[in-house]
Amino acid sequence: MNNPKPKALNVELPVGLEPVYANFALITHSPSEMVFDLAQALPNQPQIRVKARVVMTPFNAKLLLRALQENLAKYEATYGEIALPGQGEDLARAFFGSARPPEGEE
């Protein structure tokens, strides 16, 4: 059986599209959606400001995970391994241990 070739997608980037820098992510989910809140955590700033919210199906989130894994493997093959904190640590706590929600939101 012949497998059809995937069609090329024409991806359009809008003129003036502003990039969003994020070094902090909050990830939540429902049975049908994954929600990624991308934020900026800045030194000496108690507030973490969400800059973008991305919502996708769990299926598409898993495809995104695969694409990230493949691209990180290519990155590390070129530039070397990305060092992470010790095994068994909660990554969010290791990187942002001092970050806390505003008063009354815990």
User: For 45-77, what is each residue's pLDDT tens digit?
Assistant: 889 989 999 999 999 999 999 999 999 999 999
Backbone φ and ψ of 17, nearest 5°: -60, 120
- pLDDT of res. 88: 60
Does any domain span residue 40? yes
Residue found under tokens 């108690």: 46
In a domain, 79, yes or no: yes
Task: Determine the structural domain holding residue 39 and report its residue range.
Answer: 24-83
For residue 15, tell me if it sits in a domain.
Answer: no
**Residue 105 reports pLDDT greater than 90:** no
Sorted by sequence, the CB contacts under 8 Å of residue 64 that are 6+ apart come out as: 56
Do the domain assignments include residue 39?
yes
Does residue 101 sit within a domain? Answer: no
pTM here? Answer: 0.70
The percent of residues above 90 in pLDDT, for the chain, comes to: 62
Contact 1, 31 (CB under 8 A): no
DSSP classification of residue 9? P
Q: Measured in Å, how far apart are the chain's first and last C-alpha atoms?
A: 56
**Which residue is it, tokens 């995937």?**
6
Number of domains in the chain: 1
Q: Does residue 38 form part of some domain?
A: yes
The confidence band for 101, taking pLDDT boundaries of 50, 70 and 90, is low
What is the three-class DSSP state of 62? helix
